[in-house]
Structure 1
């Protein structure tokens, strides 16, 4: 039984799709298929029920997955810890960032961190906040700079800023003259929505559902620049964090009738071993926050 076989089985189980697992692991689909078949032959059981349209675990497969999840996590942590003991001047950090934070919050942090720790390699993974939370829980990422409001108790959180969810409307439209956007305004408008996996999408749709409103979604995109361009062109309205609308020609930010605020910050798994590289990033973020708070207090 090889470690790679277990890793392939784990990823295929999580994604319930061998093709997607191959893409995530950057290997060919036949490699994963062959590895899983060998694993099944060695165990003498069938791990997947292949009669379903979607890949599904058999009861035996579910038990096996539950056992190896902890084993693989311990192996990953052991490798990190041993590498730290070797005291190499090298390290890798995997960070998940939603497109909105990636474009407007992270660059300010990353540029300063990279200057101070140029020997560390940082890999960025763009997804929505909800998807990043799930990947942190599955130990696929070291950190996520995400909307932390309502995050799992399994995640350690470092709040960094608070932002308001606002409606983005064309600057020349009648809606731009309003002080607040009402549910009726939203109900009659064309809406450009962030894609699945976004905390903002989930929050807005949840609020609208409470008011029995089904928005007319005409387009979906995770590219903030694209969304702002579509709004400015009069295609529809959208919902974004106010932090990304400081420089948005042709777009007017309007608060919602019931204001919505969210906390943005750094998140990581509580029970994972924290490598020296990862700890340096946590310490850097904390130090940056302290300096910012000191500057704000001095200005008051």
Structure 2
């Protein structure tokens, strides 16, 4: 039994898809298929139920996955710790970023960090905040720069900013003359939403549900510039964070009568070993945050 086989099985189990697992692990699909078949042959059991369209674990496969999760995590942490003792000048950091935050906030952090730590390899993964937080708990990512409001207690959080959710309407829309938006104004309004996995989407849908409003979602996208362009073209209304929505041509960004604020920040798993590469990123973000606060006080 090889470590590689276990890693391939683990990723295929998480993603429920061989092709996506191959893409995530940066190997060919046949490599994963062959490795899993060899693993099944060695164990003498079938790990996956292949009769369904989506790959799913057999009961035996679920038990096996549960057992190897901790073992693989301990091996990963052991390798990181040994590498730290060897004081290697290389390291990797895997960071998850929602498109909304990635497009506007992260480039400033990333460019400065990369200049200072050019010897580190950084891999970026774009998902919604909720999806990224789940991936952090499964040890698939080192960090997430996400909406941290409502995050699990299993995550360590470094708040970086507090932001307001604004309703974005075309500048000539009848709602654009209002000072603020009431949730009742959303009745029979076409909405453009972020895709599943977005915490902002989750909050907005929760708010609409509490008001007994069934949302009329006409389009879903994680491309922020596309969403803003569609709003400006009068395709529908959208909810975005203030630093993204404000001062956008063709759009009026309005606060809600009952404001919704969320915290944006850095998240990582509490009980995971922190490599020197990862610690350098935490320290950099803390330093950047302190510098920003100092500039504001001046």
Determine if the TM-score, normalized by the shorter chain, exceeds 0.5.
yes
- Structure 2 contact 166–245 (Cα < 8 Å) conserved: no
Q: Which residue pairs with 1:193 in the alignment?
A: 193
CA distance, structure 1, for counterparts of residue 263 and residue 152 of structure 2: 14
Q: Which residue pairs with 1:119 in the alignment?
A: 119
CA distance, structure 1, for counterparts of residue 124 and residue 132 of structure 2: 11
CA distance, structure 1, for counterparts of residue 190 and residue 120 of structure 2: 45
CA distance, structure 2, for counterparts of residue 148 and residue 193 of structure 1: 20
- Structure 2 contact 92–121 (Cα < 8 Å) conserved: yes
Q: Which residue pairs with 2:15 in the alignment?
A: 15
Structure 2 residue 26 is matched with structure 1 residue 47: no
Per-residue CA deviation, residues 145-203 of structure 1 (Å, 9 max, x unaligned), is 00000101111000000001110001121211111112232112111111111111111
CA distance, structure 1, for counterparts of residue 103 and residue 50 of structure 2: 41
Alignment of 1:92-241 (within 5 A): 92-241=92-241
Structure 2: give runs of 5+ residues left out of the alignment.
none
TM-score between the two structures when normalised by the length of structure 1: 0.95
Structure 1: give runs of 5+ residues left out of the alignment.
none
Per-residue CA deviation, residues 245-286 of structure 1 (Å, 9 max, x unaligned), is 233111111111221100000000111111111101101111
Once superposed, which parts of structure 1, at least 4 consecutive aligned residues long, lie more than 4 Å away?
A: none
Q: Which residue pairs with 1:277 in the alignment?
A: 277
Alignment of 1:71-82 (within 5 A): 71-82=71-82
Q: SS in structure 2 opposite 1:21?
A: helix
CA distance, structure 1, for counterparts of residue 80 and residue 193 of structure 2: 39
Please tell me the root mean square deviation across aligned C-alpha atoms, in Å.
Answer: 1.3
Instruction: State which drifts further: 155-164 or 132-141.
Output: 132-141
CA distance, structure 1, for counterparts of residue 32 and residue 113 of structure 2: 37
| Structure 1 residue 291: Cα displacement | 2.0
- Structure 2 contact 94–122 (Cα < 8 Å) conserved: yes
TM-score between the two structures when normalised by the length of structure 2: 0.96
The size of the alignment, in residue pairs, is 298
- Structure 2 contact 98–129 (Cα < 8 Å) conserved: yes
